[in-house]
């Protein structure tokens, strides 16, 4: 059972944000953190790969490591991240926002030609979040955004990559949904960030058990 924060009175909630490159994961995470904090929630923001040593190797080593080796690195970092950062913050009654989680592995590792069965097995013991947000957008739009801001890794390399990523996220949503993951899919192609933030915040408010907090309030 997740603990309740003794100051704010809300329970810990684990929220993950995954989605296509250029769909706005980091921007949404930042706005959501600010929005929830303004509502009085205690929030802990984190990311995967994590900022621990394993995470740094996985994050900055995508040109050195690939396929099964990279998939194992990412999974190892995930389990360490859960044990040392995510679970302790949930136990303290905080809302944990994690930028990338299992859904990203289901997509990126398959783009790296790792069989889905291998990826599923690696992540079989990972905690199921209270809410798994998946951000999607038109592939032409995301490819344009990536071109303007610059690529973050070899997994972001033009329109063809964005289209492949879109198809894999559709398949990943089906797989996780079949596993009873609590999914919320948001199309960010033309949706203002304020609406995306409010939509996710409403779900979190319900999960946190704070009926007096109104996430839709500016």
Tens of pLDDT, residue by residue over 34-56, are: 999 999 999 999 999 999 999 99
What pLDDT does residue 153 have?
62
Paired with 185 in beta bridges are 134
216 falls within a domain: no
pLDDT digits (tens, 9 = 90+) for 189-217: 999 999 999 999 999 999 998 544 443 43
161 falls within a domain: yes
Structure confidence at residue 124 as a pLDDT band (50, 70, 90): very high
What pLDDT does residue 209 have?
82
Count CB atoms within 10 A of the CB of residue 111.
Answer: 14
Confidence (pTM): 0.89
Q: What is the CATH number of the domain that holds 81?
A: 3.40.50.300
What's the structural domain count of the chain?
Answer: 1
187 falls within a domain: yes
**Which residue range is the domain that position 141 belongs to?**
13-208
217 falls within a domain: no
pLDDT digits (tens, 9 = 90+) for 11-38: 899 999 999 988 999 999 999 999 999 9
Biggest CA–CA distance in the chain, Å, is 50
- What is the average pLDDT value for the chain, to the nearest integer? 89
197 falls within a domain: yes
8 A C-beta contact, residue 20 and residue 164: no
3-state secondary structure the chain: CCCECCCCCCECEEEEEEECCCCCHHHHHHHHHHHHHHCCCCEEEEECCCCCHHHHHHHHCCCCCCHHHHHHHHHHHHHHHHHHHHHHHHHCCCEEEEECCHHHHHHHHHHCCCCHHHHHHHCCCCCCCCEEEEEECCHHHHHHHHHHHCCCCCCCCCHHHHHHHHHHHHHHHHHHHHCCCCEEEEECCCCCHHHHHHHHHHHHHHHHCCCCCCCCCC
Structure confidence at residue 145 as a pLDDT band (50, 70, 90): confident
194 falls within a domain: yes
Phi, psi of 124 (to 5 degrees): -60, -30
132-150 residues labelled b (16+ CB within 10 A) or e (exposed)? bbbbbbbbebbbebbeeee
116 falls within a domain: yes
1 falls within a domain: no
């Amino acid at each position: 059972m997740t603990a309740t924060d003794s100051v704010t009175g809300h329970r810990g909630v684990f929220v993950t944000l995954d989605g296509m490159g250029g769909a706005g994961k980091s921007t949404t995470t930042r706005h959501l953190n600010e929005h929830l904090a303004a509502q009085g929630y205690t929030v802990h923001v984190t990311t995967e790969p994590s900022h621990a040593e394993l995470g740094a190797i996985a994050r900055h080593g995508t040109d050195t490591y690939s396929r099964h080796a990279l998939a194992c690195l990412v999974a190892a970092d995930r389990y360490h991240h859960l044990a040392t950062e995510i679970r302790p913050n949930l136990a303290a009654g905080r809302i944990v926002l994690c930028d990338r989680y299992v859904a990203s592995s289901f997509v990126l590792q398959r783009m790296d030609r790792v069989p889905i069965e291998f990826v599923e097995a690696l992540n079989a013991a990972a905690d199921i979040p209270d809410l798994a947000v998946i951000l999607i957008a038109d592939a032409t739009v995301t490819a344009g955004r990536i071109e303007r801001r610059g690529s973050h890794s070899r997994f972001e390399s033009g329109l063809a990559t964005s289209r492949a990523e879109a198809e894999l996220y559709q398949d990943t949503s089906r797989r996780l949904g079949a596993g009873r993951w609590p999914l919320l899919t948001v199309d960010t192609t033309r949706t203002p960030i304020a609406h995306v933030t409010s939509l996710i915040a409403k779900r979190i408010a319900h999960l946190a058990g704070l009926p007096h907090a109104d996430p839709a309030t500016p």
